[in-house]
Amino acid sequence: MAISSKPTTITGYIAAAPKPVHARLREMHSLIMASAPGATQSLKWSKPAYSYRRILVVFGSFKHHLGFFITPAVKRAFAKELAGYKTASSSVQLPYDKPLPKALIRKIVRFRVKQERSQDAKWRVKI
């Protein structure tokens, strides 16, 4: 269920999606925001994106699934948990006809937050 217009905000993105997937998109947004407090919300590649200094995760509405865009390192780290889903190098397809794997989504987002914080800590200069 792809988006039919060019929204400029995440709220607009969800509103532009077909009504049957609104609740799922709102749920995904809430899961991400709860797992990445203070993350910046924006649209990247015309899809909802969540960032600190760099992008943490992105999601998007498609005809038969919700696309969850992660990094290849995250895909490798969660390979066992993602085994039941169709994946690509840095994405996961979450079918609309199955419940969202809430615990897994939270774990993945928290993992990305931890990755970004540890990466940023390596670059801090001690005075």
Domains, the chain, with CATH or none: 10-115 (3.90.1150.200)
CA distances from 32 to 6, 27, 29, 49 (A): 22, 9, 5, 10
pLDDT at 66 over 70: yes
pLDDT at 48 over 80: yes
Residue 6 confidence (pLDDT): 85
pLDDT at 1 over 80: no
Residue 77 confidence (pLDDT): 95
Provide the pLDDT confidence category of residue 119 given band limits of 50, 70 and 90. Answer: confident
The answer to whether the beta carbons of residues 71 and 90 sit under 8 Å apart is yes
Of the candidates 82, 85, 84, 66, the one whose C-alpha atom is nearest the C-alpha of residue 74 is 82
Token duo for residue 5: 């217009």
